Chains A and B, each alone.
Chain A
Amino acid sequence: MKVAVVVQRYGPAINGGAELHARYVAEHLARHAEVEVWTTCATDYVTWRNELQAGEDRVNKVVVRRFPVKHERDPLTFGRLSERVFHQPHSIADELDWLEAEGPTSPALVAHITKHAGEFDFCIFFSYRYYHAFHGARAAGTKAILVPTAERDPAAGLSIFAPIFRGVRALMYNSPEERTMIQALAHNEQVPSVVVGIGSEVPPNPQPQRFRQKYGIRGPFAIYVGRIDENKGCRDLFRHFDSYLRNGAGKLTLVLIGNSILDIPKHPRIRHLGFVDDSDKFDGIAAADVLIMPSFFESLSMVALEAWALGKPVLANAKCDVLKGQCIRSNAGLYYDSTAEFVETLRALEFNKWVAGSLGKNGRQYYRDNYDWPVIERKYLDMLERLSKEPASGGFEPLPGWMERRKESCPPAADAVAATPSGPSTAPEMTLPRPTGPVSPPLPKRAPVPERHDPPKGRPHQGRPQQSAPHRNQGHRGRRPSGRSTGASR
């Protein structure tokens, strides 16, 4: 089987959500199929400047073909067009202009897709909102599979994307909330789809103590991992955390990992470590008491999944339906909608170690059931197998004619998105049974989670845990036994 992965940027140093997602999928699918990555020469998602060499490359044994971007993004034009298509009635031509302004405009990439898509079984496109996905999917025709990575932002309401959602062969959603939104916008229920998400390369043995020693962090702390940006809700995070600090009692320090484009408040209990490598990131998450996700828009938070994989609870912004839904479905995280809720939930996680431990344990299980790589690979392979058996039907609706494109018949995109059903999906996710055999090359073995041996009823706990108790608490490194934790919360 030959599969092409088409994404706007690609490279080992590119850590954007969709790009990393694409790389992980490409590398994991490469174990089962012949995979080629088609991308642009850009590395900066703001300018789309050509920074990498065009042509063939190889990243982690995967063939990568890069194509130049025709022009960089003009922020003024893009801003003006965004304002028009998001908030005013507009035409299809305006939306196409907006797509062109957004970039990365790479006709060479689209031409390559048109020419070579027939040689591949499927072309998996990442990020519906970019030029390459819109024009590339049309060029690939019936071989296009889309991983939308759609957030609840106005771009999803643009009229040009509905035919794409209806025309691709299949959709690989990241979350049930994303699926609900796209189906409400495009009415594409007939298109085969599955909620897949993504796994993560979580190290089996993170070193929390090493992280503490390296960065001189003592005491309990909450961690945020990601770009420190207002769009990611970091300003609100600082405001909420300031309230938490002023409320006293709490002893948590806020540790921030990631590049900052926002002023970070100067406070001894707010530590910014900057950009760190993956091992430090995982060690930091393992050392933390809780991971905070203040983002408003997420199609899937990989960091939250990584925290759950490491058995840590997550405190998420309830305004993000996806995160809230994941917290509810997994029973592995709390969420806040206001400052008071932030303070109370953080204190609840801080002082009720039993609750935090249980949430972390649930998170680990949720990750293993839904987002571990064998599960993800299985879902992709099943979908590809299914599509290869089913005949292609439909295809893309043609773009309207010259006159039709210029009719101002499109409603503001923000209104269209606002009209879609919102709120978290509380229905449990359909989980595939874990593959019995190795779907991919064997992963490092995990310590088995032993069954819980409850003490016999009627007998009080005798303080020292039984022989099996240390194994039970093995996952919570450095944690107190749950009995003491709840006692400490009094």
Chain B
Amino acid sequence: MPDFNVRSDAVNVEQIMEQIRARIREKRGVDYTDAEIRELASVKLEKFLDPRGVRSDLLEQFRKSQPPYAPPELPNFAFEDQTLFESTRGPLRFIRRLLLPILKLFFNPNPLIKALNIQSKLNASLAEREAKRDAARYAFDQLYYEVMHNLVLETTRLGIEVKNLKMRIESLASRLEFNERRARALESAVVYKPSGEEKTGRSEETRREERRDDRRDEPRRQDGRRQERQDRQERGERQDRGDRQDRQDRSDRSEPSRPAPPAAAPAAPAATAVAPPDAESPASDASQAGTSTEGPGQRSRRRRRRRGRRGSGSAAAIMGGAAGSADGGPDNGGEGEDAGDDTDASDTDVTPDTTSAPAAPAAQPAVAVTDAPVADTAAVPDVRVTRPEPFEHAFGAQAHPAESAASDPAQPAPAPESTSAQGSDTPAPAGSDPASTPEP
């Protein structure tokens, strides 16, 4: 309750009442008295549209209110030549007839009799005509009433219909507005998600490309292995250690096969749809198993890993880019054999992201080098369709420029340099190991 604007000891009751009334007026809008409000409330709004207010028996009511037509009985008289001298008493009639000549001595009654006779006939004919006219008018009245009755009914029905249509229009308008708002909200919130066919097509295409690259790089890889063997022979002592490390690395590499399913797990629905029939590798099985039996810990681990991978994706892109630039680009077949380990490692590490980025073909050959190439390549494109978690949905569109590529596959991959710092800091789990290259 706001305080009053009375600021002295001499309070003025009338002033306070004015303020109170002004406040009431503000609240109500119009200063109606209670009686006026009651009167207004009692008025039935739009009663002409209320079907219950329509008297469907209007015509009957009209008919009841009007008695059936009876022609009026107008006064008239019959006047004949003997009318003046008639009497119910016979002697009197006789005397009158006897004295008629004497009467005619005083005046001539014949014109009078004639005039009255004509007048009586006129009266009768006029009465008859009037009666006919009344009857016709009455009949017309009935018709008018009927027409009016129908008009009232039609008007009422139309009024109700108009009212209903107005309400429907209002309803449709509100629904339309709601849908528009919903569409706008969805447009701003939903990230593009490729359809299954798109994904399948792309993954098969990617796989074909990878196989083609594998076949193309096979001689180079064999050269590298030969070179490596020679180096090992030359180094002698170091071989045992290298073997041990290889074994260790193999065991390490077998570990990535464990995280691999979780890496594919978020894409499991898409992966199951996308995975080719021949991709029945343990990894894919594991990924399917992972989707079916993943716990909250796994999910958080996977999320962490995805974040790391997204970061390392950038690093891998950098490294790939760097390697590409060092090796003379991805299409440059003359990549150094001595850089095989590192390159392989980086390729193995960045496989998901490099494949996710269409503009990183340099990383694709490395996919074949991994232990589970089919499973990994099957899982690789799934990273693109793997949608971020809800909070990433919320922030993916505008959080960080580096995230947009990962979150929106429709966007081109960001420039690797932009995230090189992050990528360099990101640890490469298994691929960074130089011993990740398979044994010849």
A439 CA to B401 CA, complexed, in Å? 97
- Provide the B10-39 mask, 1 if CB < 8 A to any CB of A, else 0: 111110110011011001100001100000
Cβ–Cβ contact B6 & A355, under 8 A: yes
Q: Do A355 and B20 touch (CB < 8 A)?
A: no
Q: Is B70 an interface residue (CB 8 A)?
A: no
* Chain B residues positioned under 8 Å from A333 (CB to CB): 13
| Closest residue on chain B to residue A345 by CB atoms | B20
Find A352's partner among B1, B12, B14, B24 (CB 8 Å cutoff): B1
State in angstroms the CA–CA spacing of A436 and B227 once bound together.
Answer: 132
Inter-chain contacts of B2 with A (CB < 8 A): 489-490
Q: Mark A335-346, 1 if CB is under 8 A from B, else 0.
A: 101111100110
Which residue of B is nearest A344, CB measured? B20
Contacting residues, chain A, for B14 (C-beta < 8 A): 328
Q: Which chain B residues border A338 with CB–CB below 8 Å?
A: 33-34
CA distance in complex: A352, B6 (Å)? 11
Closest chain B residue, CB of each to CB of A486: B3
Which single residue of chain B is at the shortest CB-CB distance from A340?
B24
**How far does the Cβ of B22 sit from chain A's closest Cβ, in whole Å?**
10
CB distance from B57 to the nearest CB of A (A): 42
User: Within 8 Å of chain B (Cβ to Cβ): is A168?
Assistant: no
Asked whether any CB of chain A lies closer than 8 Å to the CB of B4, the reply is: yes
Cα-based distance from A293 to B12 in the complex (angstroms): 20
Q: Does A38 contact B (CB under 8 A)?
A: no
Size of the chain A interface, CB-CB below 8 angstroms: 30
Chain B residues lying within 8 Å of A328, measured Cβ to Cβ, are 13-14
A362 in contact (CB, < 8 A):
yes
The verdict on A351 contacting B1 (CB below 8 Å), with A340-B28, A344-B23 known, is: yes
Given the known interface contacts A352-B1, A486-B3, A490-B3, the answer about A452 and B17 at a Cβ–Cβ threshold of 8 Å is no
Question: Given B1, B11, B34, which contacts A359 in the complex, CB threshold below 8 Å?
Answer: B11
When distances are taken between beta carbons in the complex, the residues of chain B under 8 Å from A331 are 10-13
Cα–Cα distance between A199 and B21 once the two chains are bound (Å): 33
Q: Does A170 contact B (CB under 8 A)?
A: no
Q: A340-B24, A344-B23 are in contact. Are A327 and B13 (CB under 8 A)?
A: yes
Q: How long is the Cα–Cα vector from A334 to B13 in the complex, in angstroms? A: 6
**Is A355 a contact partner of B1 (Cβ separation < 8 A)?**
no
Instruction: State whether A358 and B20 are in contact (beta carbons under 8 Å apart), knowing that A338-B33, A351-B1, A490-B3 are contacts in the complex.
Output: no
With a CB–CB cut-off of 8 A, which chain B residues contact A341? 20-21, 24
A430 at the interface (CB under 8 A from B): no
Contacts of A350 in B (CB 8 A): 1
Contact: B1 with A249, CB < 8 Å?
A: yes
20 CB < 8 A contacts A-B: A249-B1, A331-B11, A331-B13, A334-B13, A334-B16, A334-B17, A335-B17, A341-B21, A345-B17, A345-B20, A347-B1, A348-B1, A348-B16, A351-B1, A352-B4, A354-B3, A355-B11, A359-B13, A361-B9, A452-B9
Instruction: Give A residues with C-beta under 8 Å from B.
Output: 249, 327-328, 331-335, 337-341, 344-345, 347-348, 350-352, 354-355, 358-359, 361-362, 452, 486, 489-490
